[in-house]
Structure 1
Amino acid sequence: EYRVRFSSRAWVIHGAARWIARPMFSLWPLTPAGLRAGPALELLAGLRKAPAGTRTEKLRIGGFLVEWVKADGVAPGLPNPAAGAVLYFHGGGFIGGGVGTHRRCVSALSRTSRKPVLSVAYRQYPAARLDGSVSDGVFAYRWLLEHGYPAERIVLAGDSAGGYLSFSVALAARAAGLPAPAGILAISPLLDWDCTDKQAHVNLRRDAYIPGRRLPALYQLIAPLAGPDPTLSPINHDLRGLPPVLLQVAAREVLRCDAEAMAQRLADADVPCTLQIWAGQVHAFPVLAGLLPEAMAALIEAGAFIQEVTATAARELDDTARLDDTARLDDTDRLDDTA
């Protein structure tokens, strides 16, 4: 699917990203001293009040913070296992961002999906490397399951680095024997640490936000091992059995390359997948909910996807349970007839 219309605000944001954000990120030192601005940005964002009509509640689980975000009218109580939940992982390149920087986006997603959202402040570099971030995500998923949230009513979601986690957590949860979630929503996800295709893609130069040539340096900084490890890229895993996926990307961002490759591999693995490509937008544009009309439009479609996959997964589970009950009754009848 290709979204072709875009607003004047999108032009302004695209220009600001190209002439301010990208040059700054191109030169910003990837060192412990240079990365101190990441936590500072999250601290400032945390001082802002939650959007109107939104309730929040912070908890500490497993040594990191999570925040329940619920828009008014979603479901009574906070939280509410019967309503299900969205487990959201924020973006920020594993070196910045947090629940504060993404609260407006998460609040809008709660409203459009009609579900409470558990936003995860997973550990990032230098507190943890990639494997630590994934471990926190799996812990948060297991925590939801242990607190009564049915897997068929949980959707894993995230943007950019969080999109990476939405896939990585689903794969790691499967490896740990946990039930699969109802769906995966990935916004501008980073899915392949092998940057060969991205370096040759025309969007390497056209991306208004991400300096794609710095991605290998970011990997060297946050990877748990010094050498390349293909297993750290979700795109290299066996994708069979994953739940339905919605991918949303900007037409000219460099990570479009990852999304298109993942969409093809999901199709090859018989996993239902929708890839939406939005023209005139910047990387992870739905995070700009409240500033950008297209952000809200994308989150409305994301919310509809979440409602659809959770309802479908719940119906399929109910149908399976009814078939099992019928089979047990038939077996009992046959035993009675034999007797």
Structure 2
Amino acid sequence: MSWQSIVLNQIFRLRKRRIVKTDPRAIKAGYNKLEEKTEKTLKIPTTTEHRVDTLNGVPCEWMIAEGAKDSDQLVLYFHGGGFMLGSPPILHRPLAARLSAKSGRKVLLVDYRLTPAHTYPAPVEDCSQVYQWLLDNGYNANQIAFGGDSAGGNLVLSVIQSAREQSLPLPALGICLSPWADLTHTGSSIQSNKYRDPMLPVEILELMALIYGKGHNLAEPKISPVFADFSGFPPLLVYAGTTEILLSDAERVVAAAEAKGVTVESKYWHKQAHAFPVMTQYLPEAREAVDGMADFINRHMR
């Protein structure tokens, strides 16, 4: 475990104690302040093209490294943030830039609608609409990879379900980073890692789940993909940290997929924080994780 991870985990623990647990507006305000501070220090290579676009009415951002500009393949990436945070996806730009450079593919970040104003199924619909746009505009499904962290990892699995329901071709593969895949929070790590997780308070997740799933059963498979039928899913790569309260979510996604014969690769990273690959600018483990994602893409997309 790198010294950078040790320091960041300690910072996360201090912030965790101060997080407001009951007011969504306070949660959003705190995150927005963090984004404002972080945006000033983000380092995106000058050779990487960053372009804002709107596809099927959904705002998106392209991150295209120098070596990916002529690629006819892409990674459709869904950011995390509890379905409440992360718009625009500022904090995910460095990850997207590195993934584009390492994989040689374009990366498209989807800026889907967020709670509390937009609850389920709005994020699934937005991400599905962007996927549909790609299919309608020259991309074959085998040219598209899905990726996402936390709530975005949930969306990877939910949008695949949605595509299957509509008899659309499925993407070439899916990558789930610390997937928040059980909004009923019945996994064992919710309790066993409650005090070990440096970042996420259980109470915050419970609040965000109730807001996102308003009016729906939180055990619905497209809200909590651990309960989904993974039949016919493309190959999956799943990462999580060993001290996350969502570790069980990742493990159960792997088990459910393997039970249906899906090709799955997983890695559980020693004491890494929730969705740590997003922090490529700070953590050597994050850079290693993104390199592993690129390798997975290169092996499953031709």
User: Per the shorter chain, which TM-score range?
Assistant: over 0.9
Q: How does 1:43-192 map to 2 (within 5 A)?
A: 51-52=44-45, 53-76=47-70, 80=71, 83-98=72-87, 99-192=89-182
Structure 1 window deviating more from structure 2 (90-99 vs 153-162): it is 90-99
Q: How does 1:1-339 map to 2 (within 5 A)?
A: 6-20=1-15, 22-25=16-19, 27-32=20-25, 34-39=27-32, 41-42=34-35, 51-52=44-45, 53-76=47-70, 80=71, 83-98=72-87, 99-198=89-188, 201-225=191-215, 227-231=217-221, 232-311=223-302
Q: Secondary structure at the match of 1:125?
A: coil
Q: Secondary structure at the match of 2:301?
A: helix
Matched-pair contact (CA < 8 Å) for 1:204–1:213: no
**CA deviation after TM superposition for structure 1 residue 262, in Å:** 1.1
User: What is the one-letter code of the residue matched to 1:67?
Assistant: E
Give CA deviations for 1:151-199 in whole Å, capped at 9, x if unaligned.
0111100111111111111111111111010000000010111212246
User: What is the one-letter code of the residue matched to 1:169?
Assistant: V
User: What is the one-letter code of the residue matched to 1:285?
Assistant: F
**CA deviation after TM superposition for structure 1 residue 44, in Å:** 6.1
State the distance in 2 between where 1:281 and 1:9 align.
11
Q: Secondary structure at the match of 1:286?
A: helix
User: What is the one-letter code of the residue matched to 2:54?
Assistant: R
State the distance in 2 between where 1:7 and 1:50 align.
21
Unpaired runs of 5+ residues, structure 1, are: 1-5, 312-339
State the distance in 2 between where 1:200 and 1:137 align.
28
Bigger helix share = 1
Over 3 Å counting, the alpha-carbon distance change for 1:50 and 1:144 in structure 2 is farther
Matched-pair contact (CA < 8 Å) for 1:198–1:204: no
RMSD value, Cα:
2.0
User: What is the one-letter code of the residue matched to 1:269?
Assistant: K
Structure 1 window deviating more from structure 2 (100-109 vs 196-205): it is 196-205
State the distance in 2 between where 1:50 and 1:149 align.
30
User: What is the one-letter code of the residue matched to 2:211?
Assistant: L
Q: Secondary structure at the match of 1:197?
A: coil
Matched-pair contact (CA < 8 Å) for 2:175–2:237: yes
Q: Secondary structure at the match of 1:206?
A: coil
Over 3 Å counting, the alpha-carbon distance change for 1:185 and 1:200 in structure 2 is closer
Matched-pair contact (CA < 8 Å) for 1:89–1:166: yes
Provide TM-score, normalisation by structure 2. 0.92
Over 3 Å counting, the alpha-carbon distance change for 1:68 and 1:201 in structure 2 is same
**CA deviation after TM superposition for structure 1 residue 291, in Å:** 0.8
User: What is the one-letter code of the residue matched to 2:242?
Assistant: A
State the distance in 2 between where 1:47 and 1:64 align.
26
Give CA deviations for 1:245-300 in whole Å, capped at 9, x if unaligned.
00011111111110111111111110010110111311111100021101000000
Matched-pair contact (CA < 8 Å) for 1:188–1:283: yes
**CA deviation after TM superposition for structure 1 residue 63, in Å:** 3.1
Count of residues in Structure 1 that have an aligned counterpart in Structure 2: 299
Give CA deviations for 1:128-149 in whole Å, capped at 9, x if unaligned.
1121000001001111111111
**CA deviation after TM superposition for structure 1 residue 88, in Å:** 0.3
State the distance in 1 between where 2:265 and 2:256 align.
12
Over 3 Å counting, the alpha-carbon distance change for 1:261 and 1:49 in structure 2 is closer
Matched-pair contact (CA < 8 Å) for 1:38–1:95: no
**CA deviation after TM superposition for structure 1 residue 215, in Å:** 2.1
Q: Secondary structure at the match of 1:243?
A: coil
**CA deviation after TM superposition for structure 1 residue 237, in Å:** 1.4
Matched-pair contact (CA < 8 Å) for 1:250–1:256: yes
